[in-house]
Amino acid sequence: MAVPTTTERPVRRPALSPSRAGDFKQCPLLYRFRAVDRLPEKPTKAQVRGTVVHAVLEDLFSLPAAERLPERARELVAPAWERVRAERPEFAELFTADEADEQAAWLASAESLLEGYFGLEDPRRFDPESRELLVEWEMPSGVLLRGYVDRVDVAPTGEIRVVDYKTGAAPREVGEAKALFQMKFYALVLWRLRGQVPRQLRLMYLADRQALAYTPDEAELARFERTLEAIWEAILRSARTGDFRPNRSRLCDYCDHKVRCPAWDGTPPPYPGWPEPDAGSETVLDRAD
C-alpha cells in the first residue's frame, strides 16, 4: 500500500513502535508532530533520569554476578550520566553551571530508584539472555514492528520472561493499560520471531517498588496483532491526506505541542508529507519512562 513521499531520496520503509502506536491511539496529531514533522521536544529531568537508570541497569549485568550490589550500582550512576550526556549533547543543557547542587540531588534521586530495583529482585541470582534488545518483525501485511526490550530472561526450562523497567510510580488503570500495550507489543514480536509465547511479562516500577506480572496467550496476541494492523491502516489513511486530528484530553496539559494544536487555537505547520526514514521508531526517551 503505497503512500506518497515528498523526497526523491531512497525511502526506508516506515516501522511501527509501541511508543508511536500509543501516540496515535492517544492523539493522531501528536503522532504526526513526533513521527512526521519530527518537531523537537525538550527532555524533562525525569525522562533523562530514566535514561540514566536504564543505562545503569544495563551496565550492572555486565559485572560478575557477585558484584551486582546496590553500592556498585550507585558507583555506576555518574559514569552512566557522563556517557548519556556525551551521546546526547542536548542533555548537557539540563543543568546550568551554577546548578551543581540541583544536579547532585538529581543524581541522588537516580540512586534512590536503583535502591527500588534491588527491593524487587536480586540480580546476582541470574544472567539475562538479552539487554536493550532491538526486536523487529514484519507482519504479513508488510508492517514492520520495531522496539527495544529492556531485558529478556530465559529460564533453564526455556521459558521466556520479558522485563521492562519503569522509573515512575505504578500507574492507575489508564497508565497500566498503556504499559501492558507496550509489553504485548514486545511479546507479539518475540512470539513471531522465536515461535514461543513469553511465559511472563513483568513491569518493574522502581519508584514505589512494585512489580506487575502478566501472562499472555496465543489467542490474545493474535488479537493484538490485528489491533496493530488496524492502527497502521488508520495511520496510512491519515498519511495520504495529512488529516491527523487532535484528541483533546487532560494529557494536553503535558504536551510540548499544545501551542500549535488547533484544539487549543494553535496552528500546526504545513504537512510535510510522509517521512523517511522510520516513521514510528522509538527514541531513547521513549524507553526511559
Show pLDDT as tens, one digit a residue, over the chain (289 residues): 444 444 444 444 568 999 999 999 999 999 999 999 999 999 999 999 999 999 999 999 999 999 999 999 999 999 999 999 999 988 988 998 899 999 999 999 999 999 999 999 999 999 999 999 999 999 988 889 999 999 999 999 999 999 999 998 887 766 678 889 999 999 999 999 999 999 999 999 999 999 999 999 999 999 999 999 999 999 999 999 999 999 999 999 999 999 999 999 999 999 999 875 455 566 655 555 5
Q: Which of 103, 124, 145 is a domain's end point?
A: 124
Same domain, 61 and 133: no
Cα–Cα distance measured from residue 153 to residue 161, given in angstroms and rounded to the nearest whole number: 5
Residue 14 falls inside a structural domain: no
Same domain, 139 and 207: yes
Residue 266 falls inside a structural domain: no
**What is the reported pTM?**
0.88
pLDDT at 94: 93
Same domain, 108 and 137: no
Same domain, 132 and 215: yes
Given a contact cutoff of 8 angstroms between Cβ atoms, the answer to whether 213 and 202 are in contact is yes
Same domain, 176 and 151: yes
Q: Which of 105, 124, 143 is a domain's end point?
A: 124
Residue 239 falls inside a structural domain: no
pLDDT at 168: 86
Give residue 95's domain range. 45-124
Residue 137 falls inside a structural domain: yes
Residue 80 falls inside a structural domain: yes
Cα–Cα distance measured from residue 127 to residue 116, given in angstroms and rounded to the nearest whole number: 19
Same domain, 182 and 219: yes
Residue 216 falls inside a structural domain: yes
pLDDT at 171: 72
Same domain, 201 and 214: yes
Q: Which of 124, 141, 158 is a domain's end point?
A: 124
Q: How would you class 48 by CB atoms within 10 Å of its CB: exposed for 0-12, middle for 13-18, buried for 19 or more?
A: buried
Cα–Cα distance measured from residue 63 to residue 54, given in angstroms and rounded to the nearest whole number: 15
Cα–Cα distance measured from residue 88 to residue 251, given in angstroms and rounded to the nearest whole number: 26
Residue 255 falls inside a structural domain: no
Same domain, 141 and 209: yes
CATH number at residue 217: 3.90.320.10
| Contacts by residues 68-71 (CB-CB < 8 Å, ≥ 24 positions apart) | 68/123, 68/124, 69/124, 70/114, 70/115, 70/118
> Number of folded domains in the chain?
2
